Structure 1
Amino acid sequence: MTGPASPGARALPRAGLPTDLVGTGAAALVAPLLAAFVAWPIARLAAALAPPDAAVLDALVRSVRVAGASTLVTLALALALAFAVTRAGIPGRRLVSAACLLPTFGPPFLAALALDLLLGPARGPGVLVAAQVLTFLPYAYLLLATALDGLDVSLDEAAESLGARRLTVLRRVTLVLLRPRLATTALVVFALALGDFANPFLLAGGHPVLTTLMYARAVGAHDAVAAATPAVLLLVPGVLAALVLARRDPGALPLVALLARRAPLRPAPALVRWPLAALAVLAALVQSAVPVLVVAGSLGAVPGGDWSPSFRHWAGLAAPGVASAVLTSVGLGGAAGLAGVLLAFAVAHAIRRARPPLARVLWWLALAPAALPGAVVGVAYLLALGAPAGPLAGTFWILVAGVVCWRLPVALRAAAEALGRVGPALEEAAVSLGAGLGRTYARVFVPLLAAPAWSLFFFFFVEGVVTVSVVVFLASPGATPGAVTLLERAARGELGGACALAAVLFALVLAAAASARALAGPGRLAVPKL
């Protein structure tokens, strides 16, 4: 939920370089694509807005209550966890970081599936809040840990040298410097919780929130127009979070490669360090237990009841509908990876080379999806591109377009930063040595952009495999990804089959991570999150 730096701040190479032609061509290509797949769906969504009825208002109040509770608990836990890892000097902090991030590589409702296994048919706001806290804690932790890791520890030392106690330093120095990121994190988590679809779909217990109400109207009642009003209501926190990230806290985009990159200079006192260590270990164990419990559920005869070993749920993966769903997920991840990398670099290249008016228009068009929760993108695409007479209606390619355009703002920043490292001096040196367009790209751009490209391919591949909120609105009988099939099976109470399918998708993502790391090179895989 963030965007690249303002195009006005970029350093343009000297005019007349061969790559200028590619930048001009990229601008001519991406402008109509962004108009068709970003501007048009948003315009159709706005045009379908109507006054909210009683059901929408009731769902809005319930959504705000759940999202508010989830945000408060998540923020408190994430702050304690981030402080423990980056400042308290707890042992095994890298392992704690890795364990807390493990669920982010699976479908976004693994926590709901695990709670369903543990609690049975329990439903309600409390269980839903617990699932959302487990789901969004890794992202809040990333935002706060990267901010804490970047604070200058010498400021704390200076305050202590003037006689301030550790608690005073924490309250008057550290938390004051961290205040902008705390506000950003709270806003981001609130927007994520408000736009969450999968967890409420499984755990809301017949009490609809905005996202499940949108699904009931758009998919259940086949009335996408009626889903437009709750979709527009979801835009408010999304727009606010995107503007804050882009304007106030542009460094908030966390990269997995930055975790625990620096040891704290001075460990916290034992009375502080060991309670924080216990909390961090507990958080790591709980987050690690989520995928472990899901795998165990796939091996139980009746998950949640009879846990005796059985492979019948894995045998069910060979069923035609399930096998085709897994293949669709792999295809969607691969297609989204390739299209996403090409589009992100094309847009970044066009913004970098285009003149300010056009560059600013392209930048805002590419940034716009950052304000849209996935469910809103799904409804907007249904209205604009999913009409029965539309060329993409019911096809595999509308899924690819939805995933790529929704996650483009996050990828665009990474692509823009990668292109920014290819300085004008390198291009001018290649030209002065007689290199043409093809040779300049082959010898200058490709080697420098290979690792970021593989990182972005992995990012889009993961989104294609595990994303639910967008594709659940756009899936059709001929194009149903594995994550949607998994959600449907869990909703029907087929927990064993759902767990087996979740384990397969989780294994796909881990295999893709290993492959991308090998292709990008050791230590060079930096995956954008959020």
Structure 2
Amino acid sequence: MQPTKRSRLFAFKKWDFWSWVTLVMYLFLFAFIVYPLCSLFINSFYNDEGVFSLETYANFIKLKYYYGALWNSLKVSAFATIFAILIGVPLAYVTSRYNVKFKGLIQILVIMSLLSPPFIGAYSWILMLGNNGFLTRFFHDIGIPFSSVYGWKGIVFVFTLQFYPHIYLYVSGALKTIDTSLEEAAESLGRSSFHRLRTVTLPLIFPTLSAGALMVFMASFADFGTPMLLGQGFKVLPILAYEQFISEMGGNPAMASTLSIILIVCSTSILFLQRYFVSRKNYTMTGMRTPKVQTLRPLTKWLLTAGALLVAFVSIIPQATVIVTSFIKTKGPVFHAGFSLNSYKEILFRVPKAILNTYTFSLISIVIMVIMGMLVAYVLVRRKSKITAMLDSLIMIPYVMPGTVLGISMIIAFNKPPVVLTGTWIILVIAYVVRKLPYTIRSSTAILYQLDRSVEEASISLGVPPMKTFFKTTGRLMAPGVLSGAILSWVTTINELSSTIVLYYGATATISVTIYSEVFTANYGTGAALASILSVTTLVSLLVANKLSKKGLMM
């Protein structure tokens, strides 16, 4: 018997609060992820005359100018990942397995270097190792031949120092929880320490190591700022997509769309490839016997401490450099002897709007992300179904979307009626929310999995409605962990460049875009002052997040 119209309406009225949350989230994702992506995909099949054609894809395959950019992206990302592993794994092993000194300081420095945006690292190394950098001049003065940091090798160098903390943090956590019985079994068979590390320890932590390596590769593959500042003619795919879309000669939106689709396909393929290799073997352990920190001889301990501190201090050099140079007297690209606050006075006089925009847009985005993250996390964890599983998959799409691609897709989708958002601050906020929402939701779901349902059930059994129970009880319990995760999203939002540079116009410029412009016009002093503001904000945010996470553990 078919349901009548009245019965269907009655069933619709029976929807609870969480059903509406699910529906609203689907509408949001379809409006700002699925629709822009479909628009981007369709646009890639139309040439400049608006005729359906495979010309852009054919040109990508035929012309080295286009497919060479893909090869360049893969090359720098692969080398950066390899070098990040070579730095991150030994550093994680030393700090987690041995009684080296200053572990807390090392971890803070490593995390600080990770949270700093890559383009600030690139800018700092230009100040030090550029064509007229002070280290470059020093090397020339003492007779050491050194050209500059520009080129693909410089890009790999900056990516390595920027992203090896991913490897360090992932591997450190895995090494602290690994079951040592397998290592002890290998030791009883007479295996050397290196042999045990290669044949037992590394295979056991392979899923975690590969997840960290994936993060390094994806971040390098999608980054726009570093190759743009250091490339000097070395084109990678995000830069080429941006240049094709926003060109002084009129641009080529169809080719930009094609390059963007290829970027997404490559990112998705890499993600599935990593999951395939992890799924081939079983990596489960009992975890009953976690490793003990080994006590070293004084000389060995101090040598390893010195090595670990050296790596950490080198990776924090970019932030130290921009802060110091922001106080040096400057006239355009030339630094003069003596300290001055002129750079700060200039930015407060010339670009105060960019500073205000950065914090305003990021704050609005974070408020939206926290509210959406907590509500959607509850749906995903407590209301599991095929519908919520599909919702979870849609939410993770931005995870594989470079910021440049997201910006291009949103302009193509919202540059014409019925909804015109380009040229407004709203499109920037939406882009930030879409890009960073997966991370906020993941931190929220992680907290929710740790909360016992009995607390909610007790509240509901006392007659409190489910929605009120969430806001009065569950939400409050989630808050410390969610806020600490949200602060990390806030840090990446204020530093966002790749999507902002596509979507902004003069009145909505942010600090990151202004730094990029100042560096390209050789105003290094003002660029350093703006970068210092971001660095100090990052440090303060990290300290607040650390305090909140400790409070969350205490509750």
Select 1:193's aligned residue among 192, 215, 220: 220
Q: Secondary structure at the match of 1:319?
A: helix
2:552 maps to 524
Query: How many Å separate the matches in 1 of 2:416 and 2:127?
Result: 38
2:506 is equivalent to residue 477 of structure 1: yes
Query: How many Å separate the matches in 2 of 1:525 and 1:329?
Result: 31
2:41 is equivalent to residue 46 of structure 1: yes
2:31 maps to 36
2:316 is equivalent to residue 282 of structure 1: no
1:79 maps to 89
2:504 is equivalent to residue 509 of structure 1: no
Query: How many Å separate the matches in 1 of 2:553 and 2:495?
Result: 19
Select 2:349's aligned residue among 316, 319, 332: 319
Select 1:419's aligned residue among 448, 454, 478: 448
Select 1:459's aligned residue among 488, 512, 516: 488
Q: Secondary structure at the match of 1:441?
A: helix
Counting only pairs closer than 5 Å after superposition, residues 123-522 of structure 1 correspond to structure 2 as 123-220=150-247, 221-243=250-272, 264-267=292-295, 276-302=304-330, 305-320=335-350, 322-352=351-381, 354=383, 356-387=385-416, 390-437=419-466, 439-516=468-545, 520=548, 522=550
Compared with structure 1, are the counterparts of its residues 38 and 267 closer, same or farther at alpha carbon in structure 2 (3 Å cutoff)? Answer: farther
Query: How many Å separate the matches in 2 of 1:230 and 1:38?
Result: 18
Q: Secondary structure at the match of 1:109?
A: helix
Compared with structure 1, are the counterparts of its residues 197 and 447 closer, same or farther at alpha carbon in structure 2 (3 Å cutoff)? Answer: same
CA contact (8 A) 1:517 1:525 kept: no
Query: How many Å separate the matches in 1 of 2:193 and 2:549?
Result: 41
Compared with structure 1, are the counterparts of its residues 26 and 74 closer, same or farther at alpha carbon in structure 2 (3 Å cutoff)? Answer: same
Compared with structure 1, are the counterparts of its residues 162 and 335 closer, same or farther at alpha carbon in structure 2 (3 Å cutoff)? Answer: same
**Residue type of the partner of 1:27?**
T
2:141 maps to none
Compared with structure 1, are the counterparts of its residues 22 and 388 closer, same or farther at alpha carbon in structure 2 (3 Å cutoff)? Answer: closer
Rg larger for: 2
Compared with structure 1, are the counterparts of its residues 355 and 196 closer, same or farther at alpha carbon in structure 2 (3 Å cutoff)? Answer: closer
Q: Secondary structure at the match of 1:89?
A: coil
Counting only pairs closer than 5 Å after superposition, residues 4-19 of structure 1 correspond to structure 2 as none
Query: How many Å separate the matches in 2 of 1:59 and 1:427?
Result: 53
CA contact (8 A) 2:225 2:498 kept: yes
CA contact (8 A) 1:427 1:440 kept: yes
Query: How many Å separate the matches in 2 of 1:272 and 1:41?
Result: 56
Query: How many Å separate the matches in 2 of 1:282 and 1:521?
Result: 28
1:7 maps to none
Identity between Structure 1 and Structure 2 (%): 26
- The more displaced of 265-274 and 324-333 is 265-274
CA contact (8 A) 2:436 2:493 kept: no
Q: Secondary structure at the match of 1:91?
A: coil
CA contact (8 A) 1:345 1:415 kept: yes
**Residue type of the partner of 1:486?**
I
**Residue type of the partner of 1:35?**
F
CA contact (8 A) 1:118 1:304 kept: no
Query: How many Å separate the matches in 1 of 2:384 and 2:103?
Result: 46
CA contact (8 A) 1:31 1:362 kept: yes
Compared with structure 1, are the counterparts of its residues 355 and 464 closer, same or farther at alpha carbon in structure 2 (3 Å cutoff)? Answer: closer
CA contact (8 A) 2:440 2:486 kept: no
- The more displaced of 178-187 and 97-106 is 178-187
Q: Secondary structure at the match of 2:190?
A: coil
Total equivalences in the alignment: 495
Gaps of 5+ in 1: 1-18, 251-261
C-alpha deviations, 1:138-183, integer Å up to 9, x for none? 2222222222222123432333234333222212211221233333
Query: How many Å separate the matches in 2 of 1:67 and 1:174?
Result: 25
Select 1:94's aligned residue among 85, 98, 104: 104
Query: How many Å separate the matches in 2 of 1:291 and 1:239?
Result: 32
CA contact (8 A) 1:317 1:497 kept: yes
**Residue type of the partner of 1:283?**
V
Query: How many Å separate the matches in 2 of 1:136 and 1:310?
Result: 33
C-alpha deviations, 1:192-213, integer Å up to 9, x for none? 2121111011000122211111
Query: How many Å separate the matches in 1 of 2:39 and 2:20?
Result: 28
C-alpha deviations, 1:73-119, integer Å up to 9, x for none? 11111111111111233221221111112123333322111111112
RMSD: 2.7
Question: Which structure's relative contact order is higher, taking Cα pairs within 8 Å and 6+ residues apart?
Answer: 1
Gaps of 5+ in 2: 1-13, 45-55, 132-147, 280-289
Per the normalisation by structure 2, the TM-score is 0.82
1:106 maps to 116
Q: Secondary structure at the match of 1:524?
A: helix
CA contact (8 A) 2:117 2:492 kept: no
Deviation at 1:354, TM superposition (A): 4.7
CA contact (8 A) 2:96 2:293 kept: no
